[in-house]
Structure 1
Amino acid sequence: MCEKPAVSSEHVPPKCIFPESKDVKGINLRQHLITVPSCDVHNSAKSKDDEFLMVSLAGIFGNNSIGFQHKFSKVNRAIRRSSNRLLDAAFTKRKHYKLERDNKFLEVIWGTFDHVRLNDCFTHIAYGLHFHHFERRFKGQVKVIMGYLHSKDMSNNNFVQFIKDRAAIDLKDVERCGKNPDVFYYQFVAPDEHGIYLLHMRFYGGIDVYASFLPEDKTKPYNLALELMNEGIETVINLDGKEYHVNVKS
């Protein structure tokens, strides 16, 4: 993250998102975790966000069984210990619902995540994975897109879906890295003609996060479609015969 001396190491992603064996029927998912060197400032700042990230990710619809077991064990214990302060930190707005099935109730939370804080967490992880994978610190711009969140803005959802579909093409034959893929794995795509490259992170089998890397010695390419979208102009993007409508006027 910076040029300060590394005096400790940190886990990327945070260790706490990997369930303990007592919570997942004896499976050890905390082996061979990724660590990178860290300065005191960034490590201590990150530690405050680790539980926030854990609460924000575990239990989301679409996760695999590991994610749900983690939610109903360690995550719930952490929430109870904090007297719900962790939920207050994770959501800027939220509503609680109870779903009934076969005389059993499941509590569901529907709300708005702290998007800014999540973005900072994933950016931090992206820098760490870059250092781990390429053995050098990244200098340049990193932009994160959270492919698992849904917005009230359908144009935003359409653009995110385009990114996911485009990434799926680029990632088709790319190696998945990570010793505990049911919890987390990542993939780096080779740089394109502009020197920009993509990182794909998947958590709990269903949470997709993307980060683009633009090195400081490269110039951001001009993209007409992006410029039109940024100006609020209705834009249609085509990919393999599929259309993605952005800034559609009602």
Structure 2
Amino acid sequence: MCDNDAASMEHVPPVCLFPEIKDTKGINFRKNLIKVPSCDIHNSKKSDDDEFLLFSLTGLITNNTVGKFHFYSKVNRAIRRKNKDFINKQVLRNHKYGIVKINNEEKLISIGHPDAERLAKCFEHIAHGLYYHKFGKRFIGEIFMINGFIDYKDSNQQMLKKFMKRRFELETVLNEDFQGDNPSVFYYQFHKPDEHGLIAVKMVFYGTAEVYVCFKAKEIEMPHNLTTELIGGGVKTIMTLGDEEFPFND
């Protein structure tokens, strides 16, 4: 991510997201984990961010069984060691408890606003690592990101999330296979560069938490985009994918 000398190898994603064998009774969820060179600032000094990401992702009620298991084992142990205000101050803002019905069974859950800015920072680290792992060089440019597991207050952002999800679904068959030797924890898929040279990657955590990332290299100059200007200017605009319509500023 920077020009500093590499001091260690960093796991991508953080190793803490993968359950340990001592908790899984012999099942190995840490097969062939990705590692990339990293400076000290972008590895060991971000341990708090790694823990924040672990708590944020394993706590999602839509997770697969591995994500839920990791939450009720390692993460629950860690939460009990924290002070009572940890979740409210570090993971969810405006935290409160609520009851939801899952498979006809009532469950006590935590409800709140995620720290989207901090999540983006964590996913940016992972995206840079995956890019280096695939292409063997550091990415220099801008990264654009949409979190598929967050409901955005802004209606245009929410519609963009739906648009990106559908576009990735339609383009999946045209691109590389999904990668990752521990897919129940994490897998990803790079898409071929588009007509402008933009490269996209889809990251999936615990089966359902999707993150969509676009890499715009420094040397790429984007052409004038009327659609983007209309949406940004508050004009009602409809984008289409196949026979589906996605209205903005509706």
Deviation at 1:77, TM superposition (A): 1.1
Overall identity of the aligned pairs, in %: 44
Per-residue Cα deviation, 1:118-154 (whole angstroms, up to 9, x for no partner): 0100011100110011111111111111011112333
What's the counterpart of residue 222 of structure 1? 224
Deviation at 1:106, TM superposition (A): 2.7
Per-residue Cα deviation, 1:37-74 (whole angstroms, up to 9, x for no partner): 11111113322200100000013122111111111111
Deviation at 1:99, TM superposition (A): 4.5
What's the counterpart of residue 12 of structure 1? 12
CA distance in 2, matches of 1:100, 1:219: 49
What's the counterpart of residue 51 of structure 1? 51
Are the aligned partners of 2:92 and 2:111 in contact in 1 as well (CA < 8 Å)?
no
What's the counterpart of residue 144 of structure 2? 143
What's the counterpart of residue 179 of structure 2? 177
What's the counterpart of residue 198 of structure 1? 200
CA distance in 1, matches of 2:21, 2:8: 26
The one-letter code matched in structure 2 to 1:182 is S
Distance change in 2, residues 1:11/1:153 (3 Å): same
Are the aligned partners of 1:184 and 1:204 in contact in 2 as well (CA < 8 Å)?
yes
CA distance in 1, matches of 2:154, 2:179: 33
What's the counterpart of residue 68 of structure 1? 68
The one-letter code matched in structure 1 to 2:96 is K
CA distance in 2, matches of 1:14, 1:84: 25
Deviation at 1:100, TM superposition (A): 7.0
Q: Does 1:110 align with 2:111?
A: yes
> CA RMSD, aligned part only?
1.9
Uncovered stretches (5+) of structure 1, i.e. residues with no partner: none
Are the aligned partners of 2:36 and 2:133 in contact in 1 as well (CA < 8 Å)?
yes
Q: Give the alignment partner of residue 245 of structure 1, picking from 238, 244, 247.
A: 247
Deviation at 1:23, TM superposition (A): 2.9
Are the aligned partners of 1:24 and 1:70 in contact in 2 as well (CA < 8 Å)?
no
CA distance in 1, matches of 2:160, 2:219: 28
CA distance in 1, matches of 2:91, 2:123: 14
Deviation at 1:86, TM superposition (A): 4.2
What's the counterpart of residue 152 of structure 1? 153
Deviation at 1:112, TM superposition (A): 0.6
What's the counterpart of residue 41 of structure 1? 41
Higher mean C-alpha displacement, 164-173 vs 207-216:
164-173
Are the aligned partners of 1:177 and 1:186 in contact in 2 as well (CA < 8 Å)?
yes
Q: Does 1:208 align with 2:199?
A: no
The one-letter code matched in structure 2 to 1:32 is N
Per-residue Cα deviation, 1:181-228 (whole angstroms, up to 9, x for no partner): 010011111111111010110000001001100111111232222221
TM-score by length of 1: 0.93
Are the aligned partners of 1:79 and 1:85 in contact in 2 as well (CA < 8 Å)?
no
Are the aligned partners of 1:141 and 1:214 in contact in 2 as well (CA < 8 Å)?
yes
Deviation at 1:229, TM superposition (A): 1.4
Uncovered stretches (5+) of structure 2, i.e. residues with no partner: none
What's the counterpart of residue 130 of structure 1? 131
CA distance in 2, matches of 1:227, 1:39: 39
